[in-house]
Structure 1
Amino acid sequence: MKFQRKKKEKIDISMTPMIDVVFLLLIFFMVTTTFSRQTEVNIKLPEAEGTEAKDYPKTVSLVIDANGIYSLIGDDNLPHQLINQTRDGLKQELSKLAEHSKDLPFVINAADETPNKAVMTALDIAGQVGFSHITFATVKPSD
C-alpha cells in the first residue's frame, strides 16, 4: 500500500508586526525620557604657564588649607580663619562679602593636598552668592 505524504505548508514569518512593536517601543522611550541638565559654575581656569594675570587693586581671596579649613584674606593681607567652618558658615561669610564686592575677582588659593570636596563647596557657594569672576591662584612650575 502506498501512502501519500501530506504537502508541507510553507511557513512564513511576517516581520511587519515585530518592526511595528520595536518602533512603538522606541517612540515610547523617546517620549518618556527626561533630559536633565546639571547645574554648572562658569569659571575660567588659569593656565599654569604664560603671562601673569592683571594685578587688580582688590580681590576677594579664599584660602583653603590641606585640612579643608577656610580662611578669608582681609584688607591687611592676612588670612582670617572662619569661625564656622560648615557650608552654611562659608555661605554666610561670602554673602556678606558679595553685597558690596560681587564684581571683584574671587580667587581660591588651595593647597596641593586640599580635599576636592572643600574646593567644590567653595566654588558652588561662590557661584550661588553671585561672584562671577572666579579663578584659582597658581604658581609657575619650577624647571
Structure 2
Amino acid sequence: MSRLKFRRKPKEEVSVNLTPLIDVVFLLLIFFMVSTTFTNESHLQISLPEADGEASETQAESLEVLISVDGGYTVNGQSLLNSQPDTLRRAIIDQAGDNRKLPFIISADAKTPHQSVVTVMDVAGKLGFAALSITTQQPAEQ
C-alpha cells in the first residue's frame, strides 16, 4: 500500500492593512479642522437690580414724567398729544419754567420701551436738569 501524500499549501497569514484606513481618518480630520469655523458666542445675562432702600419723601414741588407701556408721556398729570421729543420738551418747560433745580422723577412701566426712557433722560439733560431719579418698587418678599 502506498500512501499518497498530498502537499498542503502553506497557510498565508491573514492580516488587515490599516495604513489606508489611517490615511482616510487623517484626511477627514484635516477636512473638518479646515472647514469648521470657530466662533466664540457669548450670551449676555442681565440681572436687573432691585431697590431695597427706603422711600424718600417727595418734595411738594417736583417734575414727574410718567411713561406708559406704549411709550406715551404724561408730565405732572397732563397727557401729551404725541411722544415726540419736541412735544415733551415744551411740556417740561411749561411745567418747570426757569427752575432747573426741581427734582425730576421718571416713572416708567416695567414693559416700557427702553428708548422712551432714554428720550426723557436726554431731553431733561439738555434742558439742564441734574437731579434725575427713576421710581422703583420694593421687591416682593418670598
TM bracket, shorter-chain basis: 0.5 to 0.7
Residue 55 of structure 1: CA displacement?
Answer: 2.8
Where in structure 1 do 4 or more consecutive aligned residues deviate above 4 Å? none
TM-score, structure 1 normalization: 0.59
Post-superposition CA distance 1:25-82 (Å, at most 9, x none): xxxxxxxxxxxxxxxxxxxxx9610222133122100000000000012xxxxx2211
Match among 49, 54, 59 for residue 57 of structure 2: 54
Equivalenced residues, count: 93
Matches of 2:53 and 2:101, distance apart in 1: 25
Amino acid at match of 1:131: F
Q: Which runs of 5+ in 1 are unaligned?
A: 1-45, 74-78
**Where does residue 89 of structure 2 map in the other structure?**
91
Match among 100, 119, 122 for residue 121 of structure 1: 119
**Where does residue 105 of structure 1 map in the other structure?**
103
Per the alignment, in what secondary structure is the counterpart of residue 122 of structure 1?
Answer: helix
Change in CA separation of 1:83 and 1:135 when aligned onto 2, cut-off 3 Å: same
* Equivalent residue runs for 1:1-143 within 5 Å: 48-73=51-76, 79-143=77-141
TM-score, structure 2 normalization: 0.60
Pair member with larger Rg: 2
Residue 96 of structure 1: CA displacement?
Answer: 2.7
Q: Which runs of 5+ in 2 are unaligned?
A: 1-48
Percent of residue pairs bearing the same amino acid type:
30
Post-superposition CA distance 1:84-115 (Å, at most 9, x none): 42111111222233423311100000000000
Greater relative contact order (Cα 8 A, min sep 6): structure 1 or 2? 1
RMSD: 1.8
